[in-house]
Structure 1
Amino acid sequence: MDAQEVIHQVQLSLTTKFPNVPFYRTDQHETEQPRIEYRLVSVDFTRERSDRFVRMYTLEIRYIPKTGESHDYQTESLFEALETIGHEDTLCRASELRWDTDDGIPRMRVNYPVRTVKPPLPGVLMGELDQHLRAVPQR
């Protein structure tokens, strides 16, 4: 799963939970209310073993409510929607969800770890090894 797929899965999950709330990138500067904005904060790539890597995608999700509307209910629903994304074959569970406010607007930081395995290099496999034992006479 790459960054675009993670964002797409987040969008699908949020649209299921908030069907009438549009989903925009933060830099689009939309004014519609309510709306959900997102931005990809960082992607960290770490090696776990020689053939296994972990990519950590960090996203920031903001829920902009209608003017005068409380955001308490939406915050809990955001947690539920963002905890697990994807479907059966590509489920991804958040490793960390943090919530705070930015000028009164709920802001969540979500980390999604994605493990990848580097395929083995093609090459010649070792054939059979025959071992023959024979007694060596002692002198």
Structure 2
Amino acid sequence: MTTHQLTTAIATTLTKNFPNIPVHPANGGTTPASDAKGIIYRLLSAQLTRERSDRFVQSHAFEIRWLDASNIPDTLPDELLEALETINIEGTPYRATDLRWETEGTTPRMLVYYTMRTIKVSESVPAMQQLEQRPTAIKAAKE
């Protein structure tokens, strides 16, 4: 699974679960426009760490912000938690390892962390192969 696939799945999940609320990726700035409404999402970090020669850990952290701090629906934290707890990527469910709702600052946000372990699969090559031995006909030279 790639970071792009995960980001797309989060956008799709938010759009599906909040059909009447605008959902947008965060632009490069950290401060949204003062008149903005809806939900923005952004990737905070992505890491790939090697545990062993064939095992890796992928860690992704996302920030989901509700832009209208003066009008936060009472059920928003629970609805975001329910929507993002398990997301579907190409038929495979991925469960968040941590979800946190923070209200520090002017706009509340939810931090969502997804961690996956992956194993590098190498091509299987047979350890031994059979050799075929055929008798070769040798013609004796006539003298």
Q: What's the TM-score bracket when you normalise by the shorter of the two chains?
A: 0.7 to 0.9
State the match for 2:117 in structure 1. 115
- Tell me the CA shift for residue 46 of structure 1: 1.8
Count of residue pairs brought into register by the alignment: 127
Q: Does 1:35 align with 2:32?
A: no
**Kept after mapping to 2: 8 A contact 1:24/1:30:** no
C-alpha distance 45-14 of structure 1, shift in aligned 2 (>3 A) = same
CA contact (8 A) 1:23 1:37 kept: yes
SS in 1 for 2:103: strand
Structure 1 residue 55 displacement after superposition: 0.5
Q: Does 1:80 align with 2:82?
A: yes
Gaps in structure 2 of 5+ consecutive residues: 131-143
Runs of 5+ consecutive residues of structure 1 not aligned to the other structure: 129-139
User: After superposition, what is the alpha-carbon deviation per residue over 1:68-94, rounded to whole angstroms, capped at 9, x for unaligned?
Assistant: 423331111011111000157321100
1:91 is aligned to 93
Q: How does 1:1-139 map to 2 (within 5 A)?
A: 1-27=1-27, 29=32, 33-65=36-68, 68-86=70-88, 89-121=91-123, 123-126=125-128
Residues 5-59 of structure 1, C-alpha deviation per residue, up to 9 Å, x if partnerless? 1111111111121001122122264666531111111112122333121100111
Answer with 1 or 2: which has the greater Rg: 2
Q: TM-score scaled by structure 1? A: 0.77
